[in-house]
Amino acid sequence: MSSNRKILVLPGDGIGPEVMAEVVRVAEWFDKRRIASFDMTEDLVGGAAYDAHGTPLHNDTMARALAADAVLFGSVGGPKWEHLPFALRPERGLLRLRKEMDLFANLRPALVFDALIGASTLKPEVIQGLDLMIVRELTGGVYFGEPRGVELLADGTRRGINTQVYTTPEIIRVARVAFELARKRRNRVCSVEKANVMESGEMWREEVQKLRDSDYPDVELQHMYADNCAMQLVRNPKQFDVIVTDNLFGDILSDCAAMLTGSLGMLPSASLGAPDASGRRKALYEPVHGSAPDIAGKNMANPLACMLSFSMMLRYSFDLAEEADLVDQAVKRVLDAGIRTGDIMQPGMKKVSTREMGDALVQELEALAA
């Protein structure tokens, strides 16, 4: 079977390589069972790339990412590299990928599996059946705005600067993704900013409203301040369908949404660029969790967020909806069978390692494909 599905695999640092190893096994299973084949290449990113090349993202790796059909990303960062100057930090590798691939739309679904309701810190009735999608703007805002930096003042004190900047096209293209997604879901968008204190926030609100009125009058649009949204997410998260917000608020709110599902170890994400002439989008898939240095290398991490990111890749980049469903089903069945990594462990369940979770997944895939 020939494959034009070129995937660049970037495991990164911390638990990244461990969780990615299980995903690669599942990809290989698809190949072995002749269900789908992939052309996978692995490379370094983050601290691992810094240790090997003195940069968190080698130019060759950047070029490979731009040439790939999809990038599968683990996680970056760790105490070992925290002392480095900003430009060399592991996180810069990820930010460069997002920026140069122009991945402006970051989709972060928060979905509660029935089997995991008890793993959440929230009451079951608050989260049962939760299914929301955060669309986070990913290449603008305060993450990339200029001027930025720290300057020394004449009196010896310092001044730290970061800038929140958004243009009309930047807002519109990400809002469009949110409205399109809403149409395939429950048809509701909540746009989040701080229009009460930030001019850029007020403008965000106006642009999103204008786009809705002109192109998506059938979609229900609500506006919310970011602080209120954080509160509403833990108070009554089921009120939301699609949330669209800027880079920084999206970063914060998606960690919050992730925890509603029981663990950061469960939340996948897809970062998408604009479709080209053939309809193809540049794309990077990554778990929302970080490198978790405290448990790295211990075979304890939950590989499911990375696994579900792989499933998003099948769905969004390769149009392999059935195969994506297979992975999602296998994850559900593993959870239903009471198999848990430490982060989602509950009384009476079976605690397993990263590797054993991978074993269980492949077993369920075998059963589903039989």
Catalytic residues: 143, 194, 227, 251, 255
Min dist CB 8 to ligand IPM, Å, is 18
91 interface partner picked from Mg ion, ligand IPM, none, CB below 5 to 8 A per type: ligand IPM
Tokens representing 352 are 């397993």
C-alpha 269: how far from chain center: 3
Using the rule CB under 5 A, is 251 a contact of Mg ion?
Answer: yes
Residue closer to ligand IPM (CB basis): 234 or 256? 256
124, exposed or middle or buried, with CB in 10 Å at 0-12, 13-18, 19+?
exposed
In the complex with Mg ion, which residue's Cβ is closer, 68 or 247?
A: 247
Does position 246 bind Mg ion by CB under 5 A?
A: no
* Separation between Cα atoms, residue 156 and residue 162, nearest integer Å: 20
Residues forming the site for ligand IPM (CB under 6 A): 91, 94-95, 251, 288, 290
325 binds, among Mg ion, ligand IPM, none (CB under 5 to 8 A by kind): none
Query: In 3-state terms, what secondary structure has residue 59?
Result: helix
Element (H, E) at 355: helix 354-369
108 has which bridge partners?
Answer: 134
Residue 76 or 219: the one with the smaller Cβ distance to ligand IPM is 76
CA gap 108, 247 in Å, rounded: 12
Q: Looking at 13-53, which runs of residues are DSSP E strands?
A: 39-42
- The Cα–Cα gap between 261 and 122 comes to 9
Residue 243 interacting entry, from ligand IPM, Mg ion, none, C-beta within 5 to 8 Å by type: none
Residue 357 contact, options Mg ion, ligand IPM, none, Cβ 5-8 Å cut-off depending on partner type: none
| Nearest-approach distance from CB 91 to ligand IPM, in angstroms | 4
With CB atoms as reference, the residue minimizing the distance to ligand IPM is: 91
Q: Following CA atoms 351, 355, 356, 360 in sequence, which dihedral angle do they give, to the nearest 10 degrees?
A: 120
Q: Which is nearer to ligand IPM, 13 or 364 (CB)?
A: 13
Question: Per CB under 5 A, does 137 bind Mg ion?
Answer: no
